[in-house]
């Protein structure tokens, strides 16, 4: 039998499968109607577990059993998604999201009180100025200060770094997300060029100050300086530049921005010393209440899943079934739990789509904990 004949057979099998698939989905819709009328949940884990075991036994070839389990796990997910679309009931969360969409201004504000970490010249300030044309900036020593300023109403917005293209996620921010209540309203990507700054006339350097993220992003450059140069962490890169400017020493330098050189009267000894030229940091703009501006096509969520096989798969399969793109998946340890994790997801989908609405209404049913962190657009 040649290739064309084999492909013809495949086409015939596919035709039969499509017909049976549509028949199965029609029956699923009838089952969903029965469940709705009788107050039964769409997802019934015991039934699916029994069904998977029975289907595995149907295989004539033992090697096909695991493939059947994968196929039917996805088929079950598609059935649940279809049932959910037919008989979706808006949750309190989605009603809150809809209310935010209706009440938020159609234009992102140009002026606002904004909390930033660090001192004058910090990269957070530069990110803030990309988002707001005339912000009133208040600086705080650490990330907790920003969250607290938002929660207390001292500032309407706060700016937080969340990830860097070279050094990865800012773990301190992720770890503090669990402790505070906030919503993401916008994000911005900022090109980061770290420069080696020192007092004018400095010829020999024995110590360099900077933030740990900048130190990580410039690891190769710092290594090239040799073991005689000490590297010391500061709360941020602007504070490092300020520290050098105020120091009595003439053998210290900072990894900071070119703007800080001008701001603190320092000399730029080396430009753009980061390991990768395409070095960007994403910053989040957060608020106390949800604000969803027109064009929002990103959504961030936090999930805690059951500590058992297949829990994460069920979430990812639901995204696949709804054709929602996963932009990022970050896992962080759960406090007071041994080797259990929470997951942060960034999703690409319009807040106006039916798929988004369905996902927001269904996630709480397949997770131990589900936290909506906001829907927004990103400035690049």
Domain coordinates of the chain in residue numbers? Answer: 3-86, 105-192+276-291, 195-270, 295-380
Q: What is the pLDDT along the chain (380 residues), one digit of tens a residue?
A: 899 999 999 999 999 999 999 999 999 999 988 988 888 887 787 888 899 899 989 999 989 998 998 899 889 888 888 888 887 778 899 999 999 999 999 999 999 999 999 999 999 999 999 999 999 999 999 999 999 999 999 999 999 999 999 889 998 898 888 889 999 999 999 999 999 999 999 989 999 999 999 999 999 999 999 999 999 999 999 999 999 999 999 999 999 999 999 999 999 999 999 999 899 999 999 999 999 999 999 999 999 998 888 789 889 988 998 999 999 999 988 877 777 889 999 999 999 999 999 999 989 888 899 999 999 999 98
- Considering the segment(s) 3-86 as one domain, its CATH architecture is Up-down Bundle (1.20)
Sheet holding 325-333, edge to edge: 325-333, 341-348, 298-304, 369-376
CATH code given to domain 295-380: 3.30.70.260
**Tokens found for residue 323:** 């054709």
Q: Domain spanning 105-192+276-291: which CATH class is it, in words? A: alpha beta
Instruction: Give CA separation, 286 vs 67, 176, 237, 311, 335, in Å.
Output: 44, 13, 22, 29, 23
Under a CB-based contact definition with an 8 Å cutoff, are residues 299 and 187 in contact?
no
Tell me which CATH code domain 195-270 carries. Answer: 3.40.190.10
Residues 356, 333: Cα–Cα separation, whole Å: 27
- Residue 185 neighbours by CB under 8 Å, 6+ apart: 157, 285, 286, 287, 290, 291, 292, 293, 374, 376
Decide whether 3-86 matches 105-192+276-291 in CATH topology: no
CA–CA gap between residue 260 and residue 240 (Å, rounded): 10
* DSSP letter (8 states) at residue 272: -
């Amino acid at each position: 039998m040649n290739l064309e004949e084999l492909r013809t057979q495949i086409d015939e099998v596919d035709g039969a499968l499509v017909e049976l698939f549509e028949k199965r989905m029609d029956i699923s819709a009838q089952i969903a109607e029965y469940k709705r009328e009788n107050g039964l949940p769409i997802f019934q884990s015991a039934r699916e577990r029994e069904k998977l075991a029975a289907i595995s036994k149907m295989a004539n070839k033992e090697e096909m059993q695991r493939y059947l389990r994968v196929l039917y796990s996805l088929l079950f997910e598609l059935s649940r998604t279809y049932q959910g679309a037919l008989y979706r009931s808006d949750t309190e969360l989605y009603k809150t999201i809809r209310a935010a969409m209706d009440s938020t201004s159609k234009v992102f504000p140009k002026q606002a009180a904004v909390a930033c970490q660090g001192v004058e010249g910090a990269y957070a300030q530069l990110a803030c100025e990309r988002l707001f044309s005339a912000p009133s900036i208040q600086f705080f020593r650490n990330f907790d200060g920003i969250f607290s300023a938002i929660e207390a109403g001292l500032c309407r917005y706060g700016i937080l770094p969340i990830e860097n293209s070279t050094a990865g996620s800012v773990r301190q921010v992720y770890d503090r997300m669990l402790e505070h209540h906030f919503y993401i309203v916008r994000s911005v990507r900022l090109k980061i060029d770290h420069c080696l700054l020192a007092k004018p006339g400095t010829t020999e350097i024995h110590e360099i100050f900077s933030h740990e993220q900048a130190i990580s992003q410039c690891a190769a450059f710092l290594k090239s300086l040799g073991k005689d140069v000490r590297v010391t962490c500061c709360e941020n890169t602007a504070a490092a530049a300020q520290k050098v400017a105020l120091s009595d020493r003439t053998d210290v330098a900072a990894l900071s921005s070119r703007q800080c050189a001008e701001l603190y009267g320092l000399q730029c000894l080396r430009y753009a010393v980061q390991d990768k030229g395409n070095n960007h940091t994403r910053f989040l703009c957060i608020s106390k209440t949800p604000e969803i501006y027109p064009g929002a096509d990103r959504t961030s969520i936090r999930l805690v899943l059951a500590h058992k096989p297949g829990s994460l798969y069920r979430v990812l399969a639901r995204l696949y079934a709804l054709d929602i793109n996963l932009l990022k998946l970050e896992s962080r340890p759960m406090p007071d739990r041994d080797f259990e994790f929470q997951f942060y997801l960034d999703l690409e989908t319009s807040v106006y789509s039916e798929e988004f609405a369905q996902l927001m209404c269904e996630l709480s049913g397949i997770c131990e904990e589900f936290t909506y962190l906001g829907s927004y657009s990103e400035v690049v």
